[in-house]
Chains A and B, each alone.
Chain A
Amino acid sequence: MPKLTIDGKAIEVPAGTTIIQAADKLGIDIPRYCYHPALPVAGNCRICMVEIEKQPKLQIACYTPVANGMVVHTNSPKTLEARKSVLEFLLVNHPVDCPVCDQSGECKLQDYYMEHGQYNSRLADVKVKKEKKAFSIGPTVMLDQERCILCTRCVRFADNITKTYEFGVFDRGDHSQLDVVSGKQLDNNYSGNVVDICPVGALTDKDFRFKCRVWYLSQAKSVCPGCSMGCNITVEWDKSRPHTHKKARVMRLKPRLNPNVNDYWMCDVGRYDYHFIDENRILSPQYKDELVSWPQAIETIAQTIKLLKDSNRMDKIGVLASAKLTNEDLFVIRKLFKESLNVSQVDFRVPEPPGHSDDFLIKADKNPNTAGAQAILQQSSADAQQIIQKARQGDMDLLYVFGHDLVKLFGKDTVEQISKKVKLFVFQGSNVNDTCGYAHLILPSAVYAEKDGTFTNCKERVQRIWPAFAPLGESKGDWEILSLLAGKLGISFNYKKSEETFKELTQKIGAFSEMTYEKMADQGMALKK
């Protein structure tokens, strides 16, 4: 394998590796615009030029394969001069829109300009005007042709990743314009990704437009809960100015690189479905339409359970768990209901119609943790349909539902009946839905972005989610609520944090054995077969 030196650091890489790939492995960040690891090489921005000893001309690092004995300098005077010249050329026609541009603060033109000390312009000529500025090219993306540096990342994305061919570069010379072909819109299921890959503010997200300056954003690593694919994401939220955005915290979601799951991408449905984190939340426990305290709420359930325990009627308890819960939540459900209380009617398989799927990232199963629920809850003596049936017939004393909208799944009549016939109908969920109105006791739970835990995706990969912020209002994490209930029932779960729950899970369930949060890191680990 060829050995080379970049900026004095030696590395050995497989033949065919390009200089920029070798540099990335070494942690040397050669500036780049058109190069993207997931897209075919274009070599048109010219900013990644480097100096190779014994070669008279500078070469672009994104295209030049390494050779044994190659000595590369990424910051020699010659390289810096060439790089600065490219930066200067790119700003000849680029409008200095920074004060009104969303990309400000995460813009590669700004970043490289500052890094290379380009403070003074020697431009004394007019800039080329382009046709479309602040122009909508589809339901999710805005285009500004003047800001575009024609790196063609978006073109290569639409040609190679989604194969939807929306983008083209028209005309030629410095009148070249990026656009979608007339009559077409950028309207595929992955349109938001072009905003991620655009190095400048040419393609911007309508959803995020003028919403929040990026330097106010904090990040938390997470996993999209939209389907069983489990695309790795980053939840970005405004930490400094909660008085703006009508108290919403999350400003946007971004995909997070995971070569084993979603690579650099995520679908639009997942990307834009974050409003539920801040909107329409259940904020306080309620009993029969009145706000109650947590101790009161828990006491209500505990009493019902104690009665049933004493009269040996644990078969009158039905639990509808959910594949939207974390592994930790599900484990505690198992531990509390199945093992400690001997409730055998615990199921998560509600009759949901399968959703849209494709051959890329979108899965028909719109739950993030079906595989986890399967591995942890395993069999139930009665499936969800049967539990609901029993409840409807009055054959159930305690129905404990985790977040499901039963009205949607089983119809209003059924839920009305359940409300009348069941002694205690508990709804534990994060967002208001039609079922809440029929539940006797409502417990506010946290959403995924407020949880520390893990999901297991459709490929049986266990992936960690980190909490971005504390649960909203009085809501609590699902397993935390169940721990309180356990405590009231004289069963002590002494978990101080999710990691402890997870540790016990790995000890009890073979597929998870020997997993730790540390090993899983932020890229996940596969379940054992």
Chain B
Amino acid sequence: MKELLPQMDKITSRYEHKRAALLPVLHLVQEKEGLISPESEKEIAEYLGIPVVHVHEVVSFYHLFWQKPKGKCHFSVCQTTSCALLGGEEIIEHIQKRLGIKPGGTTPDGKFSLDVVECLGACEIAPMMQCNKEYVGFLNKKKIDELIEQNL
């Protein structure tokens, strides 16, 4: 984590209180390491001068912080009303079948992972998901198959 210190210092300087930089610092560390490990929690706690337990509380509370690494291609599929009305449940089932994993799981080769999430704020392109950083909408089984092929 030492290499990230200059960036962490820059982030922390934007806030009136060091502790407020916790979320952006966690995003930064996860971007680099793919997850937040217990060691990272300790280092971040020390850096910000807060107890480790408070860092772990934050990591476990927010869904975008991962304690286990996700696949290279991570699907976050929406299951809330608008997406569900337009076939979201079927999409989720199809992905599970194709990849052989359940929500929360990762394929053994580490290539794909699946999370089922609540509304991502893109109901106009329902049914949709977030694939790594991109929002992908108007999903159907064909599109899912294509996406999986592309990322094999």
Contact = CB atoms under 8 A, between A and B. Distances in A.
B54 A168 contact: yes
A377 B46 CA distance: 53
A172 B57 CA distance: 9
Given A170-B60, A182-B56, A165 B38 contact: no
Contacts of A172: 60-61
A183 interface: yes
Given A182-B38, A183-B38, A165 B60 contact: no
Q: What's the interface size class on A, roughly?
A: 10 to 19
A170 B52 contact: no
A507 B61 CA distance: 65
Interface residues of B, number: 9
B53 A181 contact: yes
Contacts of A170: 56-57, 60-61
B51 interface: yes
A328 B51 CA distance: 48
A181 B60 contact: no
A168 B53 contact: yes
Interface in A427-461: none
A165 B54 contact: yes
Contacts of B52: 165, 181, 184
Nearest to A163: B51
Contacts of A168: 53-54, 56-57
A170 B41 CA distance: 14
Contacts of A480: none
A165 B51 contact: yes
Interface string B36-80: 001000000000000111101100110000000000000000000
A204 B25 CA distance: 37
Contacts of B38: 182-183
A169 interface: yes
Nearest to B62: A172
B39 to A, nearest CB: 10
A166 interface: yes
Contacts of B61: 170-172
Contacts of A512: none
Contacts of A337: none
A166 B53 contact: yes
Nearest to A180: B53
A10 B56 CA distance: 47
Given A182-B38, A183-B38, A169 B57 contact: yes
Q: Could you tell me the dominant secondary structure of chain A's interface residues?
A: loop
A167 B57 CA distance: 10
Nearest to B52: A181
Contacts of B54: 165, 168
A181 B53 CA distance: 5
B56 A171 contact: no
A172 B59 CA distance: 11
Nearest to B51: A165
Contacts of A167: 53
Interface string A129-158: 000000000000000000000000000000
Nearest to B63: A172
A171 B67 CA distance: 12
A170 B56 CA distance: 7
Nearest to B50: A165
> Could you say which of B53, B54, B56, B61 has the most chain A C-beta atoms within 10 Å of its C-beta?
B53
A165 B56 CA distance: 12
Interface in B87-107: none
A471 B14 CA distance: 68
Contacts of A169: 57
Contacts of A165: 51-54
Contacts of A183: 38
A182 B57 CA distance: 11
Interface string B109-152: 00000000000000000000000000000000000000000000
B48 to A, nearest CB: 13
A335 B52 CA distance: 59
A180 B56 CA distance: 10
A169 B53 CA distance: 9
Contacts of A180: 53
A386 B51 CA distance: 52
A182 B67 CA distance: 13
A169 B38 CA distance: 16
Contacts of A182: 38, 56
A182 B54 CA distance: 12
A208 B51 CA distance: 30
Contacts of A181: 51-53, 56
B60 A184 contact: no
Contacts of B57: 168-170
Given A168-B53, A172-B61, A184-B52, 19 more contacts: A165-B51, A165-B52, A165-B53, A166-B53, A167-B53, A168-B54, A168-B56, A168-B57, A169-B57, A170-B56, A170-B57, A170-B60, A171-B60, A171-B61, A172-B60, A181-B51, A181-B56, A183-B38, A184-B53
Interface of B: 38, 51-54, 56-57, 60-61
Nearest 6 Cβ contacts at the A-B interface: A165-B51, A170-B60, A168-B53, A181-B53, A168-B57, A171-B60
